[in-house]
A and B are shown apart, each in its own frame.
Chain A
Amino acid sequence: MKKKAFSAVASLALVGGLVLGGCSSSSGTSEDSSGSGGDKTVVKMMHLWPEGSAKAQYTIVNDIIKNYEKEHPDVDIQTEILANEQYKEKIKVLSASNELPDLGITWAAGYMQPFVEGNMFAPLDDVLDGGLKEQFVPGTLEAFQTDSKTYGLPLELNIAPVYYNKEIFKKYNLEVPKTYDEFLKVVKTLKDNDVTPITVGNKDRWTGSMWYMYLADRIGGPETLNNAINRTGSFEDPALEKAADELKKLVDMDAFVKGYNGFSNDEAKGYFMNEQAAMYMMGTWELPNYTTSPDVAQDFKDKVGYFKFPAYEGGKGNIDSFVGGPGVGLFVSEASKVKDETKDFVSYLVQEWGKRSVTEAGVIPATKVDTANTELAQMYIDILNDLGNASNITLYADVQMSARVADVHLNQIQALYGGEISPKEFVKAQEEALAAEKK
């Protein structure tokens, strides 16, 4: 009996863990920027840049708060800081008891949706009116909109170019490809010389999804994929199937690093950083590794260049369209008692952040950056200029979709890369998932 009870207990521990996980109230580092509030208006803010792991961002936010408090002596902004995962957990717990901070960080679209539906976030359209809206790069605010109301102000913007190793390209007399046919020739030449052409960590799945999204964009134009997801179109569109077919051809050419479906993004990145692979597509959050990061050898940094995903002949998309999206944004709690003060501060924070984030933290803000008066690494300037000329930014498919459909999409991506399914099955499964949700 005793041992029965023991193993029963052992088997229950896990189940208990699930429930308890939701209840844990981890207390983070609370920082009181002034002794006591007194009769000041207290605005509570939570963010996810601890001094230890994200010093640059931490310093910028701290400075902005200090300056704001100087200009508004009657306002006291108190911050609570948690690292990424703990932050996500705590926000979930706080929202369950309707105790969100006045101001906090959120992610776009799919992540934000339950909060908006639960009436937790305040619409910020009144903040945007009067000039602020125009400061954002087109396409960034949309990711934080539901029913044409904006619930978050994006702080970051990332696009995904293809980084390449200039030295490897030079060795085999390769030029940066402008068209998809040229790109295939590059892949073939590298393959013939036993160099891994592309590294991709498809265990994480969204990594492989970016390659598919670019193909879909270049072949069908940006609308086709977006329409399939927002249900004004179909995922069984011939262009989307053709994109899957092209991806399958790449896989069959052995264009991707061996074992890509088992690598996390970080493992796959190692192949590029160690110069074992010639190309790597990733968001611009990688830029510090190729420019300013002290942890990477200058020798390697000098070898890295980037190019825009090549144009597809006869396709509807153009080379200036990017896959990407805003990272985190700011929300204001609907339940906040100091909503007006918070909104005023949010507007200030977003603008000040935009002036400093790229130069000081290497983070490209969602607001337009004036590159003329800043000292930046050349690659940043090039990317910012490309962003200025971008014809379109397509938000990552898995972010656009609801969590459940995104999971289907990502699993299908893995299966397509793994050669488990045909392009036809690939589009069909996603069409079915999207259609089932619409019902």
Chain B
Amino acid sequence: MSNKYIITLYTLPALLLLLVLIYVPIALSGYYGLMDWTGIGQMQFIGLENYANLMKDEKFWASAGHSFLLGIFSVLSLLLYLAVSLVLVSKIKGSDFFRKIYLIPMLLSSVAIAQLWLKIFDPSNGMLNKLLEMFGVENTPVWLADPNTALYAIFVPIVWQYAGFYILIYYAALKNVPEEIIEAARIDGATPLQIALKIKLPMISAVFKVTIMLSLVGSLKYFDLIYVMTGGGPNGASEVMASYMYKEAFELNNFGYASAVGFGLLVICLGMTWLTSRLTKSNDDVQY
């Protein structure tokens, strides 16, 4: 009996924090979405008008498209991270050293990463174009300044930024695969490739599913590098949902509409979370 009170008591602080910091603001932003509000002065109730506008807002859907594109890229890059972890875990020389190297971007703040890559992408003095020029490329691309390349150019540092995080997760998961199973397979004559594909990967499939969801949702609400590196430009070519929301709220003083955008973003994220969990669902976690 008293057990229940104690459980309540112990969970109460976390529950209150969650409520005050997360759920109440969500409800509030849904509510602000019903308002015409500049952020200053009086709110005016306008019903679902903001949400109706959101539905037919081409700029929002264009930025949603960019966010989804980023999501696809991030999920695909998970395969790359996984491949790297598989190599690292196979006790090659210096794997410890490499693991630490891959972790470094994770320790840098996004703004520092943005500044670093801004220098790399600089069309005249940047490292990348200097390198291209060395190989004899004329008319080197202008990367962030060209609407056709800006978005993809930013994907590169984003993929680079999160490499350490996912490699660390995969590495830890792969380390947890029991040595005996691998040993047994080896005695049965399995090649290293077979061990990797048929034993290690199935054993960490649960972890893989979680990372898919993390990277997808993380991409959909991604903001920092894009904001610092292009500000969503040129002319909206690299705008994503979160940067669009920020712009509406803090640059165009349109808090009501921005709240509606934020709420739309939330709905999309929830929808995608549900969808991925459905798609990756399998009843039997692999056990050997």
Contact = CB atoms under 8 A, between A and B. Distances in A.
Is chain B a partner of chain A in the same complex? yes
Interface of A: 3-4, 7-16, 18-20, 22, 92, 95-96, 114-115, 117-118, 120, 196, 202-205, 257-263, 267, 271, 276, 403-404, 407, 411-412, 414-415, 418, 420
Interface of B: 18, 21-23, 25-26, 28-29, 32, 38-42, 118, 121-125, 142-147, 150, 210, 213-214, 217-218, 220-221, 223, 230-231, 233-236, 242, 245-247, 249, 251-255, 258-259, 262-263, 265-266, 269-270, 273-274, 277
23 contacts: A3-B213, A9-B18, A11-B220, A11-B266, A11-B269, A12-B269, A15-B265, A19-B262, A22-B255, A95-B40, A114-B41, A202-B145, A203-B144, A203-B233, A203-B234, A257-B124, A259-B122, A262-B121, A262-B234, A407-B252, A418-B146, A418-B234, A418-B235
A205 B247 CA distance: 14
Contacts of A96: 39-41
B273 A418 contact: no
Contact of A15 (B39, B147, B210, B262): B262
B236 A261 contact: no
Nearest to A10: B217
A428 B266 CA distance: 35
Residue of A3, A15, A20 with most chain B CB atoms under a 10 A cut-off: A15
Contacts of A114: 38, 40-41, 253
A276 B25 contact: no
Given A11-B221, A259-B142, A414-B234, A4 B251 contact: no
What does DSSP make chain A's interface, helix, strand, loop or mixed?
helix
Given A11-B217, A22-B255, 11 more contacts: A4-B277, A16-B22, A114-B38, A114-B41, A204-B231, A258-B123, A261-B142, A261-B233, A262-B234, A407-B252, A412-B235
A411 B236 contact: yes
- Main secondary structure, interface of B, reads helix
Nearest to A119: B41
Contacts of B118: 267
Contacts of A276: 124-125
Count chain A CB atoms within 10 A of each CB in B38, B145, B258 and give the residue with the most.
B145
Given A16-B22, A203-B231, A267-B118, A258 B259 contact: no
A342 to B, nearest CB: 21
B28 A19 contact: yes
Nearest to B268: A11
B75 to A, nearest CB: 14
Contacts, number: 154
The 5 lowest CB-CB distance pairs between A and B, nearest first, are A259-B123, A262-B145, A11-B269, A262-B144, A118-B41
Question: Most chain-B Cβ atoms within 10 A of its Cβ — which of A14, A404, A415?
Answer: A14
Contacts of A13: 22
Contacts of A196: 124
Contacts of B269: 8, 11-12
A14 B223 CA distance: 9
B25 A16 contact: yes
A262 B266 contact: no
Contacts of B221: 11, 14
Contact of A420 (B213, B235, B259, B274): B235
Nearest to A404: B252
Nearest to A412: B235
A14 B145 contact: no
Contacts of B242: 14
Contact of A3 (B40, B210, B252, B258): B210
A420 B150 CA distance: 14
Contacts of B42: 118
B270 A11 contact: yes
Nearest to B277: A4
Contacts of A258: 123-124, 142
A259 B217 contact: no
A101 to B, nearest CB: 15
A185 B259 CA distance: 51
Contacts of B29: 15-16, 18-19
B257 to A, nearest CB: 10
Contacts of B39: 22, 92, 96
B26 A15 contact: yes
Name the residue among B21, B125, B213, B234 with the largest chain A CB count within 10 angstroms.
B234
A258 B145 CA distance: 9
Contacts of A8: 269-270, 273
B285 to A, nearest CB: 13
A25 to B, nearest CB: 15
A329 B146 CA distance: 37
